[in-house]
Amino acid sequence: MVAHSDRRLPDEASLLRSWRGWENGIFPRDYRDLIARTFGTVADAFFPRSFRDGRAEVLAASGMDIADVVARMRASDVDEATLDAIRITADRLCSDYAYMPSEPLLVECNAWLKRVEGMRHQQLTLSHQREVTAQAGWLALLAGCLEYDCGKVHRAEATRQVALALGKDAGHPGILAWAHEMRAWFALTGGDYRGVLAAVTEGLAAAPDESVAVQLYAQRAKAWARIGNRQQTEVALEAGRRLLEGMPYPENVANHFVVDPGKYDFYRMDCYRLVQNDRMAQMLAQQVLKAGVDATGTERSPMRNAEARLTLGVAAAREGDLETALAYGEKALQGNRRSLPSLAMVCDDLGRVLSTNYSKSPEAREFLRHLDELSAA
């Protein structure tokens, strides 16, 4: 970094702290351009949109810094530029979901949700009122997901109910359907598979032709797979595949509330692992891992990658390779960004195979104790 800089830099200890922070997922606010230059590229290519703090995007789209946006929101000075800035901010936060640690992202999300919710009580035109309510709905959905990832189950359900109410107020089918999808996810990780099917039915009724419907079909397939009905699993997967095939490729695949072919393969992987089609599950897991790492080796989708490694671990355990199975399992548990309920559910799949096939192995028993700690968390 010193060699590539054209300005005087702080001492090397300070630079090293910034570098280590970047390696741990903290956005390098002061040295983004310099890090990219060190690797022979430009900042916009090296740091994709999902790895920025969003300030430059807001400024470019609206001509205002975030402080200006907040000031206008508080002063009831709401115009299209302000709304554009809020949309961009909500999209950026939803895009950060895949890799940012849950707690700091939840703090920022709640701060913006409070600001946007405050705007709903101002004097707005009908169209502006609807748009502000919709953006509050997206932020509430994101906050609920983050709360659930942290294990705050009851708070997450309350936030989901808020998002559902905001979706109704805004007349927004997509927000309504995602709120039902969250209910399906909560039920799935809680072992209530019939509850998953009921939530999916309500979600599909709300938005049968939007991309959220693809994810709802995936949740239906996962529920049937855990129930043990392979035929209904395949039917649900095929319904989602047909719907996804007819949709245009999304503009921002990083947004958590966007379903793309890569995300759907991730759900297929989960289903095939459950119905013990290990060959397909392994192939899809390798694809998930390949897509989940960028050219620099940075994991773009650490939670998907963790479940892919667990899938490979389950397949290895079934094939009699305990050492490989445990290596994949330990690697899956090392990430800083994880959804505790989802991770515990998939870890339980590996745990059952280890308990059945390797009950006398000290290494397997030690890993199972590790899983018990995760479940307790």
pLDDT for the residue numbered 69: 46
The answer to the question of residue 355 being in a domain is: yes
In eight-state DSSP terms, residue 49 is G
Asked if 299 and 376 sit in the same domain, the reply is yes
Asked if 17 and 94 sit in the same domain, the reply is no
The answer to the question of residue 102 being in a domain is: yes
The answer to the question of residue 242 being in a domain is: no
Q: How confident is the model at residue 263 (pLDDT cuts 50, 70, 90)?
A: confident
Residue that terminates a domain, selected from 171, 186, 216: 171
Compute the distance between CA of residue 160 and CA of residue 157 in angstroms, rounded to an integer. Answer: 5
Compute the distance between CA of residue 137 and CA of residue 4 in angstroms, rounded to an integer. Answer: 45
Mean pLDDT check: name the lowest of 52-56, 260-264, 314-318: 52-56
pLDDT for the residue numbered 371: 82
pLDDT digits (tens, 9 = 90+) for 309-332: 999 999 999 999 999 999 999 898
Residue that terminates a domain, selected from 171, 189, 206: 171
The answer to the question of residue 75 being in a domain is: yes
Asked if 59 and 162 sit in the same domain, the reply is yes
The answer to the question of residue 214 being in a domain is: no
pLDDT digits (tens, 9 = 90+) for 80-103: 777 888 898 999 999 988 888 888
pLDDT digits (tens, 9 = 90+) for 105-135: 999 999 999 989 888 877 788 888 899 999 9
pLDDT for the residue numbered 58: 47
Tell me which H or E stretch contains 219: helix 211-227
Asked if 96 and 30 sit in the same domain, the reply is no
pLDDT for the residue numbered 66: 45
Average pLDDT over residues 19-46: 68
Average pLDDT over residues 161-166: 95
pLDDT for the residue numbered 76: 53
Q: Say if residues 172 and 132 touch (Cβ distance below 8 Å).
A: no
Q: Which of 189, 188, 186, 216 is nearest to 204 (CA)?
A: 216
- pTM > 0.85: yes or no: no
Q: What are phi and psi of 11, to 5 degrees?
A: -65, 165
Asked if 76 and 22 sit in the same domain, the reply is no
Asked if 109 and 156 sit in the same domain, the reply is yes
The answer to the question of residue 240 being in a domain is: no
Mean pLDDT estimate for the chain? 84
How many structural domains compose the chain?
Answer: 3
**What is residue 189's three-state secondary structure?**
helix
Asked if 55 and 150 sit in the same domain, the reply is yes
Asked if 104 and 143 sit in the same domain, the reply is yes
Sign of CA dihedral 147, 152, 153, 156: negative
Mean pLDDT check: name the lowest of 22-26, 74-78, 347-351: 74-78
Contacts of 117 (CB under 8 A, 6+ apart): 136
Tell me which H or E stretch contains 351: helix 340-357
Q: Say if residues 353 and 371 touch (Cβ distance below 8 Å).
A: no
Q: Say if residues 155 and 126 touch (Cβ distance below 8 Å).
A: no
The answer to the question of residue 295 being in a domain is: yes
Domain that holds residue 27: 1-6+13-35
Q: How confident is the model at residue 50 (pLDDT cuts 50, 70, 90)?
A: very low
The answer to the question of residue 244 being in a domain is: no
Q: Which of 99, 80, 77 is nearest to 88 (CA)?
A: 80
Q: Say if residues 214 and 246 touch (Cβ distance below 8 Å).
A: no
Asked if 65 and 139 sit in the same domain, the reply is yes
Asked if 167 and 52 sit in the same domain, the reply is yes
Average pLDDT over residues 131-153: 94
Instruction: Say how far residue 225 (Cα) sits from the centre of its chain.
Output: 22
Residue that terminates a domain, selected from 125, 142, 171: 171
pLDDT for the residue numbered 33: 73
Average pLDDT over residues 359-377: 84
Asked if 165 and 70 sit in the same domain, the reply is yes
Q: How confident is the model at residue 308 (pLDDT cuts 50, 70, 90)?
A: very high
Q: How crowded is residue 290: how many other Cβ atoms within 10 Å of its Cβ?
A: 11
Tokens read off for 104: 């700091």
Report the CATH number at residue 295.
1.25.40
Compute the distance between CA of residue 69 and CA of residue 54 in angstroms, rounded to an integer. Answer: 13
In eight-state DSSP terms, residue 297 is S
3-state helix, strand, coil split of the chain in percent (to 5) is 70, 0, 25
